[in-house]
Structures are given as C-alpha cells and as structure tokens.
Amino acid sequence: MSQSRLSRIKLVYEKGGFKGLINHILSKLKIDLKLNDDISKTKRFFSNFVANEYDYKIQSGHFKGIYLKNNLNIEILSNKLENLYETEVINEIIELQSKYKKKYFVNLGASDGFYVNGFLAKNIFDRSICFDIDKKSIIACGKNLNCNKISTDRYSLINKKMDDSSFQYFDNNNIDLKECLFLIDIEGNEIDFLSIKNIEKLKNSILIIEMHEFIKSKDFSILKNNLENSFQVKQIGIEQRNLEFREIHKRLLKSEIDKNIYISELRPSLMKWYVCVPKS
C-alpha cells in the first residue's frame, strides 16, 4: 500500500474514528450502507422534521418554491430547503448568467438535481445537460424534474461520467460548447477530466469546479496552473451562514449546538470552487 494511501486512511480515522473509517471503506467498495455517528443522526432527524413541515419545498432564496421530494443525502436536505446549501455557488452562477446569457447549464455530478431543477424552473437557463455515473442519482434527478413540471425537451440526463468520448454528444446534438456553463462536482476526478486537451476543448465555456483538495494523493496545483493558461480564475468558498429564525426553529433547535449542526453541511473539509471565465 502506498504511503499516500496510508496517510489518507490515517486522516480518515483521526477525523471520523472507527465509524468514519468503516464508512470510508464501504464507500470505496461502492456498498450502499453507512454507519451514522451522533451528529449524522441529529442531522437526519432535523432534515426529516423540516422536510415534512415544508412538504420538501425550498423556503427562500433563488430556488424558492422548488420541490426536492427525491433526495439522496438526507443529512443535507435541510440545508437545501433553508437556502443554506452552496449559496455562494448559486449566486455566482446567476451573476455570470446575467452577464453572459449561456443557453446550456451542464452539470457534471448532478446528484438529485438540486441545481438543474432550480435553474430550469426559474428560467435562469433554457436547457440543461446532466451527467452522473450513479443510476440512483439520475433517477432521483428525473423524478424531481417531473415533480417541478419541467418539460422533458429542456433537459438530458446521461447515466455516465463525462470523459473524452462524451464530447461527441455535444457534436451530435449541434451544441456549441461556447454556449455552455459547466458546474463540475466529480469527487476529485476533476483533475483527471480537466486534462490539457480537454481544457483546450472547453476554453470558450464557463467552468465552475468544486475542488476536492483534501485528497492528498493528487496535485491540484497543476490543474490550477493549466486552467490559468486559458481562463481568468477566481476562487470562492463557503461563507458564514445565517439562519432566518422561524417558529419551526424555535420548536426544533434547543441550543447553539443544535443551531450549528443544523446550519452545517457536514463537509469533510473547507471546500472551495474555481470560477473560470474565458480570457478571450
């Protein structure tokens, strides 16, 4: 076993203990099972409680009124329903779209379709193309789009990861990559997908890339340098969250600890995104 892999396992154990290590191993084996720690159990309780109260409808923000009745990660559902999930990314995309007016929102790692449902239902983008290697994600995304009454001619759901061969889809459907804004969340594989060759293909698109730099076995500095050759690159991250207290929160949250758990997205590390706008 390589030294980098041993270091990664040690870090997982130090942060999550025995349960965290077991969950890491189960994830690597693609086994759909997870041991819950106390914080995860509390988060799941909070999410189930507010989801039932809100009928799975987002309560505020740009995506207000959107339904998320099919979700894959119950622990962060409360964040999505309360407009406390990746709000910096949503705001950045809406600001970029108001300026550049791209036709297509392309989501690599679409999961349950939080973004595509919001952007299509609110007519921020005309069409969307979603890639995800997980069939459950594609099914959940499609069900949410149907629930929100999004016409099927406005989106394509593709059950595979986007790789070199996937560019043929855009050619076959006469989609100009210049008309696309890409949101890329592919769990560390961004460094593999965004090769110099593929960056060249995407140099006229707008890219927003979630960076998984806590994966120490990969050198993300190389990716940043390669991106900066074709794009103006800026970094955004998660800022302080403020919860708008309503009656439901008075009933649910009994301490400052409860409030902090409720607001948290339970991420393994402080996340950041690279926003890449073509230089020319």
pLDDT (average), residues 70-86: 92
Torsion sign (Cα): 139, 267, 79, 262: positive
Where is mean pLDDT largest: 142-151, 178-187, 216-225, 269-278?
142-151
Residue type, 72: L
CA distance 55 to 253: 19
pLDDT in tens, 21-59: 666 676 666 665 555 567 888 888 999 999 999 999 999
**Phi-psi sector, 219: left (phi>0), alpha (psi -120 to 50), beta:** beta
Calculate the average pLDDT of the chain. Answer: 87
Q: What are phi and psi of 276, to 5 degrees?
A: -120, 115
pLDDT of residue 15: 47
For residue 131, the SS3 value is strand
The C-alpha atoms of residue 218 and residue 188 are separated, in whole angstroms, by 8
Q: Report the pLDDT value the prediction gives residue 245, as an integer from 0 to 100.
A: 86
Quote the pTM value.
0.84
For residue range 100-124, list pLDDT tens digits in order: 999 999 999 999 999 999 999 999 9
Asked whether 252 and 46 are in contact (CB, 8 A), the reply is yes
Name the strands in the sheet holding 127-131, side by side, starting at the edge strand that comes first in the sequence. 155-158, 127-131, 104-108, 180-184, 206-211, 272-278, 231-237
Assign 170 a pLDDT band (cuts: 50, 70, 90): very high
Helix (H, G, I), strand (E, B) or coil at 236: strand
- Across residues 233-247, what is the average pLDDT? 87
In the predicted structure, residue 87 carries a pLDDT above the cut 70: yes
Q: Where are the alpha helices (DSSP H) in 101-242?
A: 114-121, 135-147, 167-172, 190-193, 196-201, 220-228
CA distance 215 to 269: 10
Q: Which residue has the higher pLDDT, 252 or 269?
A: 252
Predicted pLDDT of residue 270? 76
C-alpha span between 27 and 69 (Å, rounded): 24
Please, are residues 207 and 231 in contact by the beta-carbon 8 Å criterion?
yes
E strand or H helix at 97: helix 87-100
Summarize the confidence of residues 78-85 as an average pLDDT.
94
More confident residue, 9 or 74: 74
Provide the CB-side half-sphere exposure for 176 (13 A, CA).
5
- Please report, in angstroms and rounded to a whole number, the separation of the first and last CA atoms in the chain: 45
Task: With CA atoms as reference, report the closest residue to 60 among 256, 241, 278.
Answer: 241
Please give the Cα distance from 87 to 239 (Å, whole number).
9
Q: What is the dihedral of CA 190, 192, 194, 198, to 10 degrees?
A: -150
Q: Which tokens sit at 229?
A: 């050759």
Question: What proportions of the chain, in percent to the nearest 5, are helix, strand and coil?
Answer: 50, 15, 40
